[in-house]
Amino acid sequence: MVLRLTFTPDRLASLRNLVTLTVFDPGGFRGAAHRHDPDQRVIISGTEASPGFMPGAIQPGPWMVELDLHAVLPSLRGGLDYTLEVEAAAEEEQDLDIGEEVPEGESVELAAPGAASRARTSSETTDASPDGWLKGDLHLHSNHSDGRWSIVDMVEYVRGNALDFVALTDHNTVSGREELREALADARLNVVLIEAMELTTYWGHANALGVAEWIDWRVAGPDGKPQFIGGSQDALKTRLMSEAAAEVRSKGAVFVVNHPRSAGYPFCTGCRWEYGDETVTYASAIEVLNGHWPRKQNDKALELWDRWLNGGSRIPATAGSDSHGFTKQPGLLGFTYVHATRDQRSILEAVSAGRSYLSRGPSLIWLDPEPSEAIRPEATELTVQVGGLEGGGEMGNAMDVSLIAGGRRAVTERLTGNGEVHFRISADLDARSWYRVELRLAGRKELLALTNPLFPSRM
């Protein structure tokens, strides 16, 4: 089967239209092409498929090709014009050449000179994980959606950053997972591959971490008004975001709200989380640090997290690089560190429990109580261990270690090397009290690491 989608105009000034293809065969999902290319050619056969799609038998029966209108900007012609061509025949009659026409923006830019060396160079600023802790990236995209690099390039990224676990979170597809699993094995990297997908909706993105199959991302907006997909009596009624999250969690997986304060439509369609504070009733975690850490959207995400915590939620936080290709500033990326064994279930349990810290290099670990443990009623002191500051350079400078209580900086200690920091706390804790620790270069606002919060025992 060969499909070709073209549309025009592809952009309005610097803003791009985003029309994507999703294909269903009689048995269900066969793949999605979530990328901005205005000329897309897709091949699906019994043995091969274009990135984003899955090979397999071409089953007889009804197939559905869906156009997902993520962004259609106003233009002089009132939108855009498109053409969709579909060629289907018995496979032995088709002359399929999957390697001939690759959409612009996929493999054209994947093997840029120096890319692999940039990945290896990034490990120079990355300290090894402390004993018992694993380092990982919970948010990555490949050329199976809108990534600018190949699976092979991603393996170099994993190697260069000394990652213990990684989640391939392509937009609305799971087609790249086995290719990455095989590539990691071929590279002899002992890395846990987290099965995942980024639910990329029109009103927010969320990572489903730990799902083995495609999750239907088509949900109603924040107003919850009924919507329909399809044009027949069998049209599919879209469900609520909370129902999609419930499906994810029913599979033992983790539902993470991604980059909640990103720019939204039309700059990044659907990227901003537009669902309200009721999100805390169904989300497993919130990604507060996305991409390069010094970003306004991350500051706003931290403020949103604080508000949810102050409202009584105990939702933990994650970090994700959201990488679509190699970066020229690898030192600005941060990762999620978890206290877990080297398997998917243990890692995701640690993420859900907040048994983790987020860091661009230094370690920042609760000692008393330990991560995710309750603060004892009689406790008057909290202790955190700071590591990874040896070796000079930026991470060898003096650090400010701050205790954050209820979203406010309670006290800051100056640290000139690795060591323990003890913070005095009030003895009159109530159920909504919470504390986390943040690490910054002395006298600067730039964040280098933070813990997940500690809470008192539930009343």
> Per-residue pLDDT tens for 214-265?
999 999 999 987 666 655 545 566 899 999 999 999 999 999 999 999 998 8
For the chain, percent of residues with pLDDT exceeding 90: 77
> Rounded distance, CA 160 to CA 432, Å?
41
- Is the confidence at residue 116, as pLDDT, over 70? no
- Is the confidence at residue 440, as pLDDT, over 90? yes
The CATH number of the domain covering residues in 115-361: 3.20.20.140
Range list for CATH 2.60.40.2950 in the chain: 363-459
> Rounded distance, CA 169 to CA 322, Å?
9
- Is the confidence at residue 123, as pLDDT, over 50? no
In a 3-state reduction of DSSP, which class is residue 403?
Answer: strand
- Is the confidence at residue 104, as pLDDT, over 50? no
Q: Which residues lie below 8 Å from residue 94, measured CB to CB, with a gap of 6+? A: 1, 2, 45, 87
Q: pLDDT digit string (tens) for 136-175?
A: 999 999 999 999 999 999 999 999 999 999 999 999 999 9
> Rounded distance, CA 332 to CA 294, Å?
7
In a 3-state reduction of DSSP, which class is residue 299?
Answer: helix
Give me the pLDDT at residue 126, please: 46
Q: What is the DSSP string of 231-293?
A: SSTTPEEPBPHHHHHHHHHHTT-EEEE--TTS--TTTSTT-S--S-GGGGGT-SEEEEEESBS
> Rounded distance, CA 433 to CA 450, Å?
18
Q: What is the DSSP string of 417-444?
A: SSEEEEEE--S---TT--EEEEEEETT-
- Is the confidence at residue 39, as pLDDT, over 50? yes
Beta-bridge partner residues of 339: 133
How would you class 269 by CB atoms within 10 Å of its CB: exposed for 0-12, middle for 13-18, buried for 19 or more? buried
> What is the average pLDDT across 84-109?
52
**Alpha helix ranges (H) inside 150-210:** 151-160, 177-186
- Is the confidence at residue 110, as pLDDT, over 90? no
* 425 compared with 121, residue with greater pLDDT: 425
> What is the average pLDDT across 262-273?
92
Give me the pLDDT at residue 426, please: 82
The topology under which CATH files domain 363-459 is Immunoglobulin-like (2.60.40)
* 356 compared with 73, residue with greater pLDDT: 356
> 272, 37, 273, 25: which is closest to 145 by C-alpha?
37
Q: pLDDT digit string (tens) for 345-383?
A: 999 999 999 999 999 999 999 999 999 999 998 899 999
Give me the pLDDT at residue 391, please: 54
> What is the average pLDDT across 210-215?
96
Mean pLDDT of the chain: 88
Count Cβ atoms below 10 Å from residue 153 Cβ, excluding itself: 22
> What is the average pLDDT across 266-277?
94
